[in-house]
């Protein structure tokens, strides 16, 4: 586990470099909650998981409104997608926090797979698609294709991956009964059939990508 001395040494090492951070906190324009490198306390881990959960539910609500027809096109979807983009762009900030837990007990293949999968797919299949919607809010075909691709990659990759990270990080910090350990799915996941990109810690793939 972390000790106060360890945190102090890490803080001093960071101060001695030219990185634009103060101590373990990395400030980026796109973060709602700043990344904490090597989070030392369970409070920091909990804050990161709770923020990521909140980001996920904001994106889910948008995708559900598009699927149900409640979300129109034009200025309405442009503004909504811009605001959803802010939440989505925060998710990599929390990924960076959770993936930097250096003393994660028995880091698993599932954890490593989930981090690397998110780094591969998130920008291309979530952020870039949201940007396409913002740039082409009047185009039914652009919006439909973008939302379909977001749904495919959130249901099969992003949300199962996030669930692995939340559970492992929460377990390691002894807070798995205090924070969400499964990322809620948007409605569209119930009609998407796929094998999640990363196997769970027990070596098997989750039987369902459609719900927690």
Ligand X SMILES: *[C@@H]1O[C@H](CO)[C@@H](O)[C@H](O)[C@H]1NC(C)=O
- Going by C-alpha positions, the residue among 62, 63, 59 that lies closest to residue 192 is 63
- Of the pair 40, 133, the CB lying nearest ligand X is at 133
Site for ligand X in 4-33 (CB under 6 A): none
153 within 8 A of 125, measured Cβ to Cβ:
yes
- Of the pair 69, 74, the CB lying nearest ligand X is at 74
Shortest distance in whole angstroms from residue 74 CB to ligand X: 5
- 41 touches ligand X (CB under 6 A): no
Q: What is the CA radius of gyration of the chain?
A: 18
Non-local CB neighbours of 161 within 8 Å, separated by 6+ positions:
113, 114, 115, 117, 118, 196, 197, 198
Shortest distance in whole angstroms from residue 130 CB to ligand X: 15
Shortest distance in whole angstroms from residue 134 CB to ligand X: 9
- Going by C-alpha positions, the residue among 33, 13, 53, 11 that lies closest to residue 170 is 53
The site for ligand X, by CB under 6 A, has a size of: 3
Residue selected from 69, 74, 106, 203 as contacting ligand X according to rule CB under 6 A:
74
- Going by C-alpha positions, the residue among 52, 69, 67 that lies closest to residue 147 is 67
Site for ligand X in 112-141 (CB under 6 A): 137-138
Shortest distance in whole angstroms from residue 129 CB to ligand X: 16
- Of the pair 20, 74, the CB lying nearest ligand X is at 74
- Of the pair 138, 191, the CB lying nearest ligand X is at 138
Site for ligand X in 155-194 (CB under 6 A): none
Chain contacts with ligand X (rule: CB under 6 A): 74, 137-138
């Amino acid at each position: 586990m972390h000790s106060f001395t360890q945190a102090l040494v890490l803080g001093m090492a960071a101060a001695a470099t030219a990185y634009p951070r103060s101590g373990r906190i990395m400030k980026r324009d796109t973060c709602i909650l700043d990344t904490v490198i090597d989070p030392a306390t369970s409070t920091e881990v909990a804050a990161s998981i709770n923020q990521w959960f909140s980001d996920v539910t904001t994106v889910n609500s948008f995708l559900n409104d598009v699927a149900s027809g409640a979300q129109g096109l034009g200025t309405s979807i442009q503004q909504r997608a811009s605001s959803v983009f802010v939440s989505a762009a925060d998710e990599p900030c929390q990924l960076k926090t959770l993936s930097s837990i250096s003393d994660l007990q028995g880091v698993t293949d599932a954890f490593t797979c989930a981090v690397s999968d998110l780094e591969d797919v998130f920008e291309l299949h979530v952020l870039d698609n949201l940007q396409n919607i913002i740039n082409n809010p009047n185009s039914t075909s652009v919006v439909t294709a973008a939302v379909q691709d977001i749904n495919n990659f959130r249901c099969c990759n992003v949300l199962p991956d996030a669930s692995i990270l939340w559970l492992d990080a929460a377990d390691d910090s002894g807070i798995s009964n205090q924070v969400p350990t499964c990322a809620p799915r948007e409605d569209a996941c119930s009609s998407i059939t796929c094998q999640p990109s990363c196997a769970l810690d027990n070596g098997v793939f989750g039987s369902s990508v459609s719900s927690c």
